[in-house]
């Protein structure tokens, strides 16, 4: 896979290794580039990671793709945005992101493989099987490294009850004797979730949710912790009366594309919004 980075004025005089580290390239990927013939060049000349770079330098990076390609399948998922570096999919509920023992041909990874033969599937953000909405995928190792930890997500969540909005600050850990379920526990990893209530009924509240951290099941665990589990979320105590899956939808993604710069992508509102009164979301 071939990519090119352009040195900025803020990177003037740094070593290439320092630039790659600042841009999120892992040590493993940098070592792989160094050991690939023609892996790092500037104007066709081999460039070392200890060499200093100047503003405007165009550094070409090339290394073979790693990892097994996802299986292909005749499934289709809408693409909300695409450029040469990334693609954002509008994942439906009841679709895993990755293939697994129980899901061989019905995942987003399968769809990606069918659309982009030969490319390794690299989701930058991941959603639970029954969570719908925006999934950002990188088309190369370089794009994945540049995007890691450099994007913002916004969700719509329908919860049971009537929370007041604000910040939920509670550490999350894996529940003992469970491979899947998480819980709030003092020895867990720090986790913060910001949210505001934008519509209500007697039973439910529709919330705009902005997770500050990205722990597994974070939104689901935090809303259950404050006594307002998501509608349809059986694992964490949500009512199944009107929803058969957790009412959680990634509605907005903002990121810096390595090719196109600042991008914001929105997914159409999910069906569970109809369970509350009309609101300006």
Active-site residues, by number, are 128
DSSP secondary structure, 142-155, as one string: HHHHHHTT-EEEEE
Structure tokens at 165: 């909005």
DSSP secondary structure, 54-97, as one string: -TT-EEEEE----SPPPPP-S----EEEE-SSEEEEEEPTT--S
CA angle 88, 128, 93 (to 5 degrees): 70
Closest Cα to residue 196, out of 188, 206, 181?
206
Distance, C-alpha 104 to centroid of its chain: 21
Give the 3-state secondary structure of residue 262. strand
How does 249-259 read in b/e, with b if 16+ C-beta sit within 10 Å?
bbbbbebebbe
Closest Cα to residue 229, out of 190, 177, 183?
183
């Amino acid at each position: 896979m071939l990519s090119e980075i352009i040195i900025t004025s803020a990177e003037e005089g740094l070593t290439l290794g320092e630039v790659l580290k600042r841009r999120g390239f892992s040590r493993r990927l940098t070592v792989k580039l160094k050991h690939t013939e023609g892996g790092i060049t500037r104007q066709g000349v081999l460039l070392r990671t200890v060499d200093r770079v100047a503003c405007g330098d165009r550094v070409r990076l090339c290394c073979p793709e790693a990892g097994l390609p996802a299986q292909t399948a005749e499934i289709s998922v809408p693409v909300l945005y695409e450029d040469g570096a990334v693609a954002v999919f509008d994942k439906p509920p009841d679709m895993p992101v990755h293939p697994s023992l129980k899901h061989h041909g019905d995942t987003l990874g399968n769809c990606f493989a069918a659309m982009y033969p030969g490319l390794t599937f690299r989701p930058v953000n991941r959603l639970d099987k029954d969570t719908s909405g925006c999934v950002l995928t990188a088309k190369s190792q370089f794009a994945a490294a540049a995007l890691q930890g450099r994007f913002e997500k916004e969700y719509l969540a329908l919860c049971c009850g009537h929370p007041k909005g604000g910040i939920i600050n509670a550490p999350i850990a894996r529940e003992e004797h469970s491979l899947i379920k998480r819980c709030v526990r003092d020895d867990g990893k720090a986790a913060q979730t910001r949210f505001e209530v934008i519509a209500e009924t007697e039973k439910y509240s529709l919330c705009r949710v902005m997770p500050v951290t990205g722990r597994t099941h974070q939104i689901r665990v935090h809303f259950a912790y404050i006594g307002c589990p998501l509608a349809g979320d059986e694992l964490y105590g949500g009512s199944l009366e009107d929803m058969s899956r957790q009412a959680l939808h990634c509605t907005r993604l903002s990121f810096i594309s390595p090719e196109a710069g600042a991008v914001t992508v929105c997914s159409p509102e999910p069906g569970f919004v109809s369970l509350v009164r009309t609101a300006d979301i």
